[in-house]
């Protein structure tokens, strides 16, 4: 009797062991499948980068720099003077333009008076040809006076351009100029980071694009900070460079042979506009970040699951 009871008890224990093992294996498979689905299809990436627009400042006139009114990494406002070019040549040009105006104006007065006198005479005192000559002289004097006025305006503008100003609000970066350098018209010699133009480029794998839509809210966590930056998807690029797009010497497509068994997914740039930056988070162009699309259409993983995966990645 006792032997039969022991056998029955042993059978129950074995059954419980098998059942527990089966449950654990099934749970592990479910978790593994879900984790793989999250990793492969959920719209997140660790390949994100902070980008910014940079204004390359160039003088509109050429001349020697006599004063630098900024320093490296200084914050400047739009319209602030960055550096000053020697003004002597442009002041002389302005004085010459003013003198030319006076000369052309006096000449125009004389030509008008001469033409008026000839116009009042009859053909008995002067010929029609002579009247036409004086009328043409007046018109040429008017044109010369208008040209002198334009030259004066140009001289005034050039003198004003000796003060090179910041085109944007932002930060002077990589300042290498010094007093005595020669500024050449149209050649950039100073850069200003536009503080209102920051955005994030996130490079998502092509397998995740089906769950990414313009307007979806986004959280981006910079590598050196814990608080996420809030933003939204602004646009998705329309194309990336193709390695096999180049033509051969005969004009035929140049296709390289591929011997790999695993085909890697292409990474597609997605532009993210920044809507809110947490206090204490400092944006610097070139910083890397992790980007997660939260609450988007067809989102296969909730925000809390994405946060759990991020914590697991940090532990690993």
Question: pLDDT tens for residues 235-271?
Answer: 999 888 877 777 777 778 777 777 777 778 889 999 9
CB 90 within 8 A of CB 152: no
- Each residue's pLDDT tens digit, 210-219: 889 999 999 9
pLDDT at 295 exceeding the cut of 70: no
The dihedral region occupied by 170, where left means phi > 0, alpha psi between -120 and 50, and beta the remainder, is left
Is residue 214 located within the same domain as residue 231?
A: yes
Is residue 167 located within the same domain as residue 263?
A: no
Q: Which two tokens stand for residue 253?
A: 């497509």
Alpha helices in the chain (DSSP H): 2-41, 88-120, 128-160, 303-315
d(CA 41, CA 211): 8
**Measured between alpha carbons, how far is residue 178 from residues 66, 85, 124, 252, 270 in Å?**
9, 12, 73, 52, 40
Tell the residue number behind the tokens 């005192």, with chain if given: 125
Q: Is residue 36 part of a domain?
A: no
Q: What is the CATH number of the domain that holds 291?
A: 2.40.30.170
Query: pLDDT value at position 243?
Result: 72
CB 293 within 8 A of CB 217: yes
Query: pLDDT value at position 6?
Result: 66
pLDDT at 142 exceeding the cut of 60: yes
Is residue 127 located within the same domain as residue 222?
A: no
Is residue 179 located within the same domain as residue 216?
A: no
Query: pLDDT value at position 316?
Result: 45
Span 183-200, mean pLDDT?
Answer: 95
**24 phi and psi, to 5 degrees?**
-65, -40
d(CA 246, CA 188): 33
Closest by CA position to 203, among listed 237, 244, 243, 245: 237
Number of domains in the chain: 2
Q: Which two tokens stand for residue 167?
A: 């085109």
Percent of the chain at pLDDT > 70 equals: 84
Asked which of 185, 207, 226 is the last residue of a domain, the reply is 185
- Each residue's pLDDT tens digit, 43-73: 889 999 999 999 999 999 999 999 999 999 9
Domain around 286: 43-56+194-241+257-303
pTM equals: 0.74
Q: Is residue 248 part of a domain?
A: no
CB 271 within 8 A of CB 237: yes
Is residue 70 located within the same domain as residue 141?
A: yes
Query: pLDDT value at position 308?
Result: 46
**Kind of pairing between the strands at 267-276 and 199-205:** antiparallel
**Kind of pairing between the strands at 217-222 and 288-293:** antiparallel
d(CA 166, CA 58): 10
């Amino acid at each position: 009797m006792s032997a039969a009871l022991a056998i029955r008890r042993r059978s129950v224990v074995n059954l419980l062991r098998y059942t527990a093992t089966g449950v654990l294996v099934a749970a592990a498979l479910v978790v593994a499948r879900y984790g793989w689905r999250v990793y492969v299809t959920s719209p997140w990436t660790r390949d994100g980068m902070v980008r910014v627009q940079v204004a390359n400042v160039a003088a509109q006139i050429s001349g020697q720099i006599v004063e630098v009114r900024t320093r490296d990494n200084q914050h400047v406002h739009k319209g602030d003077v960055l550096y000053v070019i020697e003004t002597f040549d442009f002041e002389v040009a302005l004085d010459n333009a003013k003198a030319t105006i006076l000369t052309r104006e006096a000449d125009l007065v004389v030509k008008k008076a001469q033409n008026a006198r000839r116009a009042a005479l009859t053909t008995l005192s002067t010929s029609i040809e002579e009247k036409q000559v004086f009328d043409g002289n007046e018109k040429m004097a008017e044109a010369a006076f208008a040209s002198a006025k334009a030259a004066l305006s140009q001289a005034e503008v050039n003198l004003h351009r000796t003060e090179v100003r910041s085109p944007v609000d932002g930060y002077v970066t990589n300042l290498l100029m010094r007093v005595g350098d020669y500024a050449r018209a149209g050649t950039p010699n100073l850069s200003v980071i536009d503080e209102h133009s920051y955005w994030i480029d996130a490079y998502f794998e092509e397998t995740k694009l089906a769950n990414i839509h313009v307007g979806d809210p986004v959280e981006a966590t910079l590598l050196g900070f814990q608080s996420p930056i809030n933003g939204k998807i602004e646009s998705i690029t329309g194309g990336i460079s193709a390695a096999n797009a180049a033509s051969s010497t005969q004009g035929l497509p140049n296709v390289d042979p591929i011997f790999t068994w695993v085909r890697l997914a292409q990474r597609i740039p997605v532009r993210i506009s920044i809507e809110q930056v947490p206090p204490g988070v400092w944006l610097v162009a070139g910083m890397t970040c992790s980007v997660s699309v939260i609450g988007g259409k067809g989102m296969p993983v909730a925000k809390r699951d994405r946060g759990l995966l991020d914590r697991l990645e940090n532990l690993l």
